[in-house]
Structure 1
Amino acid sequence: MDALEVRNLHVAYDRKAVLEQVDMTIPKESLTAIVGPNGAGKSTLIKAVLGMLKRSSGEISILGKPYNPKNRIVGYVPQRGSVDWDFPTNALDVILMGRYGHIGWFKRPSKQDIAMAKEALQKLGMEEYADRQIRQLSGGQQQRVFLARALVQDAEVYFMDEPFVGVDAKTEKAIIDLLRELKQKGKTVIVVHHDLQTVPEYFDHTLLLNRTVIANGPTEEVFTKELLQKTYGGTLAFFTAPGEQRSG
C-alpha cells in the first residue's frame, strides 16, 4: 500500500489548466520532495489532494482509501505567507489546535493534550515562547509553531508547503531533524521544496513536476541533470547535480 496515489488528476483555474494528467504514487515511510519551477502546480497539487481545491477530474487515495479530512490521518503545514499572523492567540494555543481533531472543537484540552503541545514546542526549541503572541514571533519561529501544530496531530501522512522558505539555519536544522524523526516513526512526509541543492541530502524520494509529472521515484534515480533540465527548461541555471563539478 502506498501513502498517496493520484490518478488522472486535472485542475484548472478559470478554465486554464494548472495540472494535467497527474499520475503518481508516493511510498509509505518516505521523505518526499515535490520539486519544480514557479507556476508548476506544486502547491496546487497538495491542495487538490486535500480537497482544498476543486479538481476537474482525478482519483486520490491516502493509505489505500479515499481521503476524508475527518479520519485524522493527514497533517498539513501551509505556506507561512498564507496564514493570518495577526490573529490574537499565543504559540501554545496554536499548537493545541492540532489536537482538535482528536478532542473536538467544543471540549477543553486535557492535561495530556497540553503536555503533548509543550513537548512539541520543546522539540522545536520553542518552549520559552509558549505564551508569546504569534504576531510577535519571527518568521522562523512562526514556522516552527506550525510544525509543532502538525506534530501533535499525530498523523500518518504529512503535507508541508515550503516549510524551509525564509527561515534561518537553526530553524532549517530543527525542521529537517523533525522530518527525519517522523520518518523513523513510520510516518510519510511530502514536502514542496524549492532549494535544489539540499534535495539529495534531505529527501529519499522526489517528484519532479511541471503541470504534469516529469519523473517520480527514489531521489538517486530521478534527481539527475537531464530530468531537472526537462522539468525546469531554460530556467535551470547554476545548478550542479550530485557528483558533478562546476566548470569554469
Structure 2
Amino acid sequence: MKPSPLTIRNLSVAYRKKPVLRDIEFEAPEGKLIGIVGPNGAGKSTLIKATLGLIPRLCGEVSIYGEPYARQRRRVGYVPQRESVDWDFPTNALDVVMMGRYGHLGWFRRPGRKERAIAMECLDKVGMSAYADRQISQLSGGQQQRIFLARALAQDADLYFMDEPFVGVDAATEKAIVALLGELKEQGKTVLVVHHDLATVEEYFDWLMLLNETIVAFGPVERTFTPEHLQTAYGGKLTLLGRDERSALILG
C-alpha cells in the first residue's frame, strides 16, 4: 500500500506550558488541495511549523511518504508567512528562486545554467520574470509573495505547505496563487494551505481541516464545510449566511 504524503499521529504542542495543539491525528490524501482554517490562535501555523520541525513538539510522530521528515526534505516545499521573512536581506528575486534548487544540487555543487533556466521559468509562471534582477526589498508585498511561490515551484516538491499565502496580496497575486494551486493539483501534488477567508473555501480547496487546538473535522469540503462544524470550531464568533449568498461567513 502506497504511504500517505503526510501522516501525523498523537501530535501535541505547547507554548510556555499552554497547550496549542492536542492529539492531532490525520492522513493527508495524495493530489488534493487541503485548506486549514480555524479562529485566531487555533494552532494553524503551529501545525505546519511542528510538522516541519521548526518548533518543538511535546509528543507525536510525523511521517512524509512513510519516512521521517529529515529523510524527505527534498520532497517538501514550504511557503512561510510573508511577515516572517527578512525582506531586507541583500539578494535579488532570481537568487531567492534558485534557492529552491539547492536540495537537488547537494552541498558542493553551485547552481548553473540549468538551475537558472528553471528559476526563470518559475518566475515567468507567477508573472515575475521581468523582476529577476530586482532586490527583494524593492518589491511590493504581492510581488514578494509571488517570488516565494516561484521558489516553491522551483523546488519541484511532492508535498507543499503554504502559510496564509493570500494574506495582504492584491487581486492579481491572488489570481496567480489560485492558478498555481490548480497547476500543482494537476501534477498530482499535495498542498496544505493555512487559510483565513471562509468565503473562498469551496472555490479553492478539495479537502478541509477545521482546527481549534484539536481537529474539529477533516475530509472533503462538501462533508466538512458545514454550519455545525463551523460553529464548533469558531464558537459564538461566527454568523452564517445562506449558501445562496456565496457561502459568506462573517466573523463577529
Q: Is the Cα–Cα contact under 8 Å of residues 159 and 190 in structure 2 kept in the other structure?
A: yes
Task: Map 1:152-231 to 2 at 5 A.
Answer: 152-231=154-233
Moved more, 18-27 or 79-88: 18-27
Equivalent position of 1:20 in the other structure = 22
Paired position in structure 1 for 2:78: 76
- List gaps (5 residues or longer) in structure 1: none
**Length-normalised TM-score, structure 1:** 0.95
Compute the displacement of 1:107 (Å).
2.7
Report the AA paired with residue 45 of structure 1. Answer: L
| 1:51 aligned partner | 53
SS of 2:243 mapped into structure 1:
coil
Which deviates the most, 154-163 or 108-117? 108-117
Task: Work out which of the residue numbers 59, 63, 66 in structure 2 matches 1:64.
Answer: 66
Query: What is the Cα deviation at residue 241 of structure 1?
Result: 5.7
Say whether the 8 Å CA contact 2:128–2:143 is kept in structure 1.
yes
Q: How does 1:146-157 map to 2 (within 5 A)?
A: 146-157=148-159
**Structure 2 segments unaligned to the other structure (5+ residues):** none
Written as runs of structure 1 = structure 2, the 5 A alignment for 1:37-48 is: 37-48=39-50
CA shift at 1:105, angstroms?
A: 4.6
**Which of these residues, 86, 92, 95, is aligned with residue 93 of structure 1?**
95
SS at match of 1:118: helix
SS in 2 for 1:206: strand
Task: Give 1:70 deviation, angstroms.
Answer: 5.5
Report the alpha carbon displacement of residue 106 of structure 1 after superposing the two structures with TM. 4.2
Letter in 1 for 2:243: P
Cα RMSD of the aligned pairs, angstroms, is: 1.4
**1:31 matched to which residue of 2?**
33
1:190-228 per-residue CA deviation (whole Å, 9 max, x = no partner) reads 000000000000000000000000000000110011100
Give identity over the alignment, percent.
64
Q: Which residue of 2 aligns with 1:124?
A: 126
Contact 2:212 2:233 in 1 (8 A): yes
Number of aligned residues: 245
Partner of 1:137: 139
Post-superposition CA distance 1:2-59 (Å, at most 9, x none): 2211111110111111100111121010000000000000000000001111101111
Q: Distance in 1 between matches of 2:97 and 2:72?
A: 18
Q: In the aligned structure 2, how far is the partner of 1:32 from the partner of 1:215? A: 12
Amino acid aligned to 1:107: R
AA at the equivalent of 2:82: R
SS in 2 for 1:65: coil
1:104 shift after superposition: 3.0
Partner amino acid for 1:136? Q
Tell me if the contact between 2:64 and 2:72 (Cα under 8 Å) persists in the aligned partners.
Answer: no
**Selected match of 2:234 from 229, 232, 235:** 232
**Residue in 1 aligned with 2:105?**
103
